[in-house]
Amino acid sequence: MNAQTNSRLIRIPGMINAHSHAFHRVLRGRTHERSAASVSHGTDNFWTWREQMYAAASYLSPQAYEQLATAVFAEMVTCGWTAVGEFHYVHRGLNEPGGTGLSDPLAMEEAIIRAAYAAGIRMTLLDTCYLQGGLSATGKAIPLNEVQTRFSDGTADSWLRRRSQLRERVYQLNAELAPSGGAPLVTLGAAVHSVRAVPRKELERIGAELEPGAVLHAHVSEQPAENEACLAAYGMTPVELLSSAGLLSPTFSAVHATHLTEHDIELLGASQSIVVMCPTTEADLADGIGPARELADAGAVIALGTDQHASIDPYLEMRGLEYGERLATGQRGRFQPAELMEAAVAGGAKSLGMPSYGLNPVTGDYVLVDTESIRTFGSRDDQLPLTATSADVHKVVINDQLVATNGVHATLGSVDELYCAFMTDNPEFQ
């Protein structure tokens, strides 16, 4: 061990989590048994998992969501993430298709914003358009189910109007919650849930009306069934549909992009779109292994996210990206360690519309990592993406403020106690 106290620590840029659904965290470790749905379907897969996710969404109130998201964001910062893209679609009150069901129609969004400030994490709030329940195998629109009514604004125009109101709310909350003299933590982005949930004409409407330069995210080709339904409905793949609607660009992020054709890869690369890979979630949900190397070689930018939070460890996401490539190809070194860090830092910044400083930790967001733990001892510093874990994150600084030390949040304390308090106060999630 080095004699000097801090000689074992290296400073790296804050890592950026480009895709999160905070409420999915309640499913961790609770979806790995065969359910009645999986028995009836003959298998346990993404679609049976989704039913359990809907059940969790049905219980969310603004108060519960703020408490849960605060714990999730606190876990993120203790693990080394300094910014997050929150892909947010639970907009409305409980089972109220005709209205918000809330005294404040932006209460769910405000809950997420207040949670980000409580945890001290930068956030791009990816307010999500979700208009229909899906596409059938024959390409017919599926109506919203009871839970999905919470996600929908009805039309793209209604979503755009609410998003305009939300922009003003973000401005107000930044003014209220940002520390004195500190930069605001929250910005507003946009998302369309998927081509299953937003019809073509509404995709085109969003493409025409969204403000220039706004970041736009969408789940893309996560499952083969999505591709098949899109082909049946429109005669083209989801990537081709998004391209025809004018949405592919350097500010567009395709999340997952697991099941792509060669033409899809060409389109994403030529448009310099970002592809957000979520390796631990894609493994947990049995989604498959996406063509990350081919996408990067074609010109797409790779970013990383934790999605449904089977893990919130940035190093496991980096390793998952490389290990997936190794398992798919039988070759090592598909992504060099520096490329993995590039995805976790600069790729995420580009995806969320945040300033990117490459891998030079000169901003007010950085992490100190232990290079002499039982996991990292003997590793070269540049190869830590392949050996470290979040347990090696010693300190996390965001906006020039210390937010976590050795897994404990600077103001919120122990994250496990935050989760315990949430479960105690909201027994419906137990």
| Complete edge-to-edge strand list for the sheet that includes strand 252-256 | 15-20, 81-88, 122-129, 186-192, 216-220, 252-256, 274-277, 301-304
Q: How far apart are CA 190 and CA 99, in angstroms?
A: 22
Known catalytic residue: 256?
yes
Distance CA(353)–CA(214), nearest Å, equals 8
Among 24, 193, 256, 309, the active-site one is 256
Catalytic, out of 153, 307, 313, 392: 307
Distance CA 90, CA 193 (A): 11
Q: Which of 88, 86, 84, 85 is nearest to 121 (CA)?
A: 84
Measured from the Cβ of residue 168, the count of other Cβ atoms closer than 10 Å reads 11
**Number of C-beta neighbours around residue 124 at 10 A:** 26
**Cα distance between residue 61 and residue 221, in whole Å:** 30
Query: Is 410 in contact with 116 (CB distance < 8 Å)?
Result: no
* Cα 165–chain centre separation: 23
Which residue from 130, 129, 134, 132 is spatially nearest to 229, judged by alpha carbons?
134
- Is 370 within 8 Å of 8 (Cβ atoms)? yes
Q: What is the DSSP string of 121-188?
A: -EEEEEEEE--SSEE-TTSPEEPP-TTGGGG--SSHHHHHHHHHHHHHHHHHHHHHHSPTTPPP-EEE
Catalytic residues: 256, 307
